[in-house]
Amino acid sequence: MKFRCERQALADALAIVVRASGSRTASSPVLAGVRIEVKGDSLSLACTDTDQIITCTIPVQGINNGVSVPRARLFNDIVRSLADGAVEVEVVGEDVVVSGGRSNFNVPTYMAQDFQVLPPAAAPDTSTNAEEFADALRQVARTVKNQDDHPYRGVQISHDADGVRLAATDNFRMALRKLPHSKILAVGEKVLVPGRALTELERMLPLSKDLVIRWADPTITFITGTASLTTRTINGSLPDPKMFLDAQYPNTLTVNRELILEALRRGKIVLPSSIGLKLHLSESGVRMEAADRDLGRTEEDLEAEYTGADLSITFNVDYLMAGIEVVETESVRIAMKDSRSPAAVWAADNEDYSYFIMPIRA
Partner 1 sequence: MRLVIARCSVVYEGRLDASLPEALRLIMRKADGCVAIHADGGAYKPLNWMNAPNSVAELDDRWVITNPKGETLTIHLHEVISDFEHELGKDPGLTKDGVEAHLQELLADNPEEIELGLQLIRREYPTSIGPVDLLCKDSAGRTVAIEIKRRGEIDGVEQLTRYLDRLALDSSLGDLRGIFVAQVIKPQAKTLAESRGIICREIDYDLLRGKRSEQPTLF
**Binding interface with partner 1 (CB under 8 A):** 25, 27, 149, 151, 169, 171-174, 239, 244, 274, 316, 340, 342, 356, 358-361
The span from the CA of 29 to the CA of 252, in Å, is 56
Classified as helix, coil or strand, 217 is: coil
Least Cα distance to 15 among 77, 67, 62, 66 occurs for 77
The span from the CA of 351 to the CA of 51, in Å, is 34
Q: Of the two residues 96 and 290, which places its CB atom closer to partner 1 in the complex?
A: 290
* Contact criterion met (CB below 8 Å) for 154 and 192: yes
Q: Of the two residues 312 and 331, which places its CB atom closer to partner 1 in the complex?
A: 312
The span from the CA of 106 to the CA of 75, in Å, is 10
Q: Of the two residues 62 and 359, which places its CB atom closer to partner 1 in the complex?
A: 359
Q: How far is the CB of 112 from partner 1 (least distance, A)?
A: 26
Q: How far is the CB of 49 from partner 1 (least distance, A)?
A: 16
Q: How far is the CB of 236 from partner 1 (least distance, A)?
A: 10
Q: Of the two residues 78 and 118, which places its CB atom closer to partner 1 in the complex?
A: 118
Q: How far is the CB of 350 from partner 1 (least distance, A)?
A: 22
Q: How far is the CB of 171 from partner 1 (least distance, A)?
A: 4
Q: Of the two residues 219 and 316, which places its CB atom closer to partner 1 in the complex?
A: 316
Q: Give ∠ CA 183-135-228 in degrees, rounded to 5.
A: 65
HSE-up of 150 (CA within 13 Å, CB side)? 16
Q: Give ∠ CA 184-328-268 in degrees, rounded to 5.
A: 120
Q: Of the two residues 118 and 213, which places its CB atom closer to partner 1 in the complex?
A: 118
Q: How far is the CB of 313 from partner 1 (least distance, A)?
A: 12
Element at 3 (helix H, strand E): strand 2-6
